[in-house]
């Protein structure tokens, strides 16, 4: 939850006014307040064990690299900075919900997991981190995968499937660490395996 609020809204000022209406801090607050309302509704309907996936490093997506990076490799820090603001508030939200009777909420730090994959891609079997496996233009990120377009042959070596979305290989890494945290920072307060046992 949240990546489209940034990529397809806040950081598209030609189409949406949100970046003129809110600072990044204010926008993160708006998103968290709306998210909290939805989560309260779920809680009131009986949801008790809930995992909230943080937003990943969307400033490193092929689309953002194609549009905003001078060299096609350097991630867009102002986007990632805004995402980190949202994620920090999401951790606070998890803590707030965990004070409710019977609630067992947890935060999955997709940003941090994704960051560690990008830091050592070869250790994760990845060789391409800045281009989509399928797409058009610079970084295969200016236009997402088109109908009948042939994707790359080695998709398991790519971090991104298209202009925005991680590949199955990348999602497997994130899923494994969400289920069984490799680092304490991967989750807060517990991983999915522990959550299931509570």
Q: How far is it, in rounded angstroms, from Cα 198 to Cα 104?
A: 8
- 100-151 pLDDT, tens per residue? 999 999 999 999 999 999 999 999 999 999 999 999 999 999 999 999 999 9
- 162-177 pLDDT, tens per residue? 999 999 999 999 999 9
- Residue 73, C-beta contacts closer than 8 angstroms, at least 6 positions apart: 65, 130
Is this structure's pTM higher than 0.85? Answer: yes
**Residue labelled with tokens 């709306």:** 34
Token pair belonging to 65 = 């690299």
Confidence of residue 1 (pLDDT cuts 50, 70, 90): confident
């Amino acid at each position: 939850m949240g990546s489209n609020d940034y990529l397809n809204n806040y950081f598209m000022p030609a189409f949406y006014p949100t970046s003129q209406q809110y600072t990044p801090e204010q926008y993160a607050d708006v998103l968290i307040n709306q998210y909290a309302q939805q989560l309260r509704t779920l809680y009131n309907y009986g949801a008790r064990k809930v995992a909230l996936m943080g937003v990943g490093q969307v400033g490193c997506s092929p689309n953002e690299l194609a549009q905003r990076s001078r060299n096609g490799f350097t991630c867009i820090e102002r986007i990632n900075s805004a995402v980190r603001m949202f994620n920090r508030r999401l951790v606070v939200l998890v803590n707030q919900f965990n004070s409710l009777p019977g609630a067992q909420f947890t935060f999955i730090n997709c940003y941090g997991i994704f960051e560690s994959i990008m830091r050592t891609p070869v250790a994760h079997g990845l060789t391409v981190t800045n281009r989509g496996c399928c797409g058009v233009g610079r970084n295969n990120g200016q236009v997402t995968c088109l109908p009948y377009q042939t994707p790359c042959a080695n998709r398991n070596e790519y971090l991104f499937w298209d202009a925005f979305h991680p590949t199955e290989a990348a999602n497997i890494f994130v899923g494994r660490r969400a289920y069984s945290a490799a680092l304490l920072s991967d989750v807060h307060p517990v991983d999915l395996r522990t959550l299931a046992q509570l």
